[in-house]
Amino acid sequence: MAFHFHLILSLSLLTLVVFPSKTQSRLTQNYYQKTCPDFEKIVQQVVTDKQLASPTTAAAALRLFFHDCMVEGCDASVLIASNAFNKAERDSDINLSLPGDGFEVVTRIKTALELQCPGIVSCADILAAATRNLISMVGGPYYPVRFGRKDGFVSKAEAVDGNLARSNMSLSQIINLFAARKLNIKEMVALTGAHTIGFSHCKEFSNRIFNFSKTSDDYDPSYNPKYAEGLRRLCANYTKDPQMSAYNDVITPGKFDNMYFKNLQKGLGLLASDQAMAVDGRTRPLIDLYAANQTIWFQDFVHAIQKVSVHNVKTGRKGEVRRRCDAFNNLKT
Ligand code: HEM
Ligand SMILES: *[C@@H]1O[C@H](CO)[C@@H](O)[C@H](O)[C@H]1NC(C)=O
Ligand SMILES: *[C@@H]1O[C@H](CO)[C@@H](O)[C@H](O)[C@H]1NC(C)=O
Ligand SMILES: *[C@@H]1O[C@H](CO)[C@@H](O)[C@H](O)[C@H]1NC(C)=O
Ligand SMILES: *[C@@H]1O[C@H](CO)[C@@H](O)[C@H](O)[C@H]1NC(C)=O
Ligand SMILES: CC(=O)N[C@H]1CO[C@H](CO)[C@@H](O)[C@@H]1O
């Protein structure tokens, strides 16, 4: 009897020891149920108002969230503002194009939540929740998100380079970057379907539309000719006006649908990195699959974005709940 009891005790101790070491297991869907019961309601209200007033918000938040998770994990490190002592992530060269709407929607949600349940909800959870709600608001799938992320203590501009894909990288380089985050080729393609919304600045694809072959002022022949001509007109003044941008998905720019993949099949992929996926044998079958069946893409996108959204999250004392999303609580850095 005593022996039996002892065995059960050590078994349960074993489970106690084994499971909590997986940080992710501490995230739960109802994390704020007792401490901030209106959390999801407030997120939804603010997000709806903001998206209706500024339809560019959904794409802005999604890109911001992805960038946050790829550098230091999903810990709101991308939201920290630089100061005299620290050049933060968001001021790295690649982040200069991160749009203000993404930051602003998080700030608004944080302000509303601090009135209702001060010091409870992390900025990292706000960004994860807002992104999920915005994706579904523009036509994408709604998926469960687990909460309990803490905000990180580190945000360095120099940590960004090499962790995020650039449109001028080769497909192999991009595949390796995703692989370094344990994201395989299928997950990479499914995630990049995010380019079904939002836009890109002309300089991100100007080399494809002006002087492509260096010997004459032509465009990348993998573009659909009418599309290339349109882009050349749109971006004619881009060096004088660096804000000039084009929709990532020229057919249904504001809708989260599988048009991005159908576009790639027709030479309507905006970035060189987009078009490369339609040509390369490692990715083309997936482009064709997702172009043919949006349901399958949604399933794969949900799997992949859920994986991204728990990437390297901080829990317990490895992070804090920031009072404001753009500054560490302890201002000494
Ligand atoms: C495959 C590698 C990827 C490359 C090379 C890439 C590159 C880019 C570039 C250059 C832009 C335009 C930025 C600008 O000019 O403002 C952009 C926009 C965007 N990217 Fe990606 N991206 C990649 C994957 C992803 C992934 C995985 C996601 C999300 C899951 C994502 C979400 C977005 C969104 C939503 C926009 C539009 C932002 C807006 O309209 O404000 N991208 N991307
Ligand atoms: C891509 O462009 C960036 C910035 O324009 C440049 O610094 C980098 O060297 C380029 N990378 C490749 C692989 O060509
Ligand atoms: C393309 O090349 C021509 C001459 O080779 C030059 O005059 C022109 O400025 C170039 N255009 C761009 C956008 O670089
Ligand atoms: C480019 O600039 C010229 C002269 O400043 C102007 O006439 C033209 O409308 C501009 N084009 C675009 C697409 O903004
Ligand atoms: C898409 O795939 C789903 C799941 O495999 C299947 O049930 C559905 O019939 C497919 N739809 C089309 C249009 O092929
Ligand atoms: C959105 C955002 O914070 N953008 C910043 C990017 O970097 C420039 C230059 O450092 C800042 O002025 C922007 O505020």
Q: Is a pLDDT exceeding 50 seen at residue 48?
A: yes
- Kindly provide the b/e burial profile for residues 178-209, where b requires at least 16 CB atoms within 10 angstroms of the residue's own CB: beebebebbbbbbbbbbbbbbbbbbebbbebb
CA atoms within 13 A of residue 224's CA, in its CB half-sphere = 13
The best mutation among 258, 289, 290, 293 to test binding of ligand 5, ranked by most ligand atoms within 8 Å of the C-beta, falls on 293
Contact 236 CB / ligand 4 (< 6 Å) = yes
- Say what the pTM is: 0.90
In the three-class reduction of DSSP (H, G, I as helix; E, B as strand; rest coil), residue 6 is classed as helix
- Mean pLDDT calculated for residue range 39-50: 98
Of 137, 131, 260, the closest CA to residue 192 belongs to 260
pLDDT score for 21: 42
Q: What percent of the chain stands above pLDDT 90?
A: 82
pLDDT score for 150: 98
Q: Is a pLDDT exceeding 90 seen at residue 153?
A: yes
Q: Is a pLDDT exceeding 80 seen at residue 7?
A: no
> Contact, 150 vs 75, CB < 8 A?
yes
Q: What stretch(es) of the chain map to CATH 1.10.520.10?
A: 28-164+311-318
207-217 confidence digits (pLDDT tens): 999 999 988 89
Atom of ligand 2 nearest to the CA of 170: 13
What are 167's two structure tokens? 């449109």
Instruction: For the chain, give the mean pLDDT.
Output: 91
The best mutation among 63, 78, 273, 300 to test binding of ligand 1, ranked by most ligand atoms within 8 Å of the C-beta, falls on 63
- pLDDT category, 94, cuts 50, 70, 90? low
pLDDT score for 326: 94
Question: Is 171-308 in CATH node 3.20.20.70?
Answer: no
Alpha carbon of 280 to ligand 5 centroid (Å): 25
Q: What percent of the chain stands above pLDDT 70?
A: 90
Task: Pick out the residues of the known binding site for heme b.
Answer: 195
**Higher-confidence position of 272 and 26:** 272
Q: Is a pLDDT exceeding 60 seen at residue 5?
A: no
Nearest CA to ligand 6 atom 10: 91
Contact 237 CB / ligand 4 (< 6 Å) = yes
Q: Is a pLDDT exceeding 70 seen at residue 183?
A: yes
**Higher-confidence position of 3 and 120:** 120
What are 20's two structure tokens? 């909590």
Is 4 among the residues known to form the active site? no
Catalytic-labelled residue, pool 6, 67, 201, 311? 67
pLDDT score for 13: 42
In the three-class reduction of DSSP (H, G, I as helix; E, B as strand; rest coil), residue 246 is classed as strand
In the three-class reduction of DSSP (H, G, I as helix; E, B as strand; rest coil), residue 332 is classed as coil
pLDDT score for 17: 40
- 19-23, 220-224, 299-303: least confident range: 19-23
Residues in CB range of 52: below 8 A, 6 or more apart: none
Q: What stretch(es) of the chain map to CATH 1.10.420.10?
A: 171-308
- Mean pLDDT calculated for residue range 111-140: 98
Q: Considering the domain 28-164+311-318, what is its CATH architecture?
A: Orthogonal Bundle (1.10)
Q: Is a pLDDT exceeding 70 seen at residue 14?
A: no
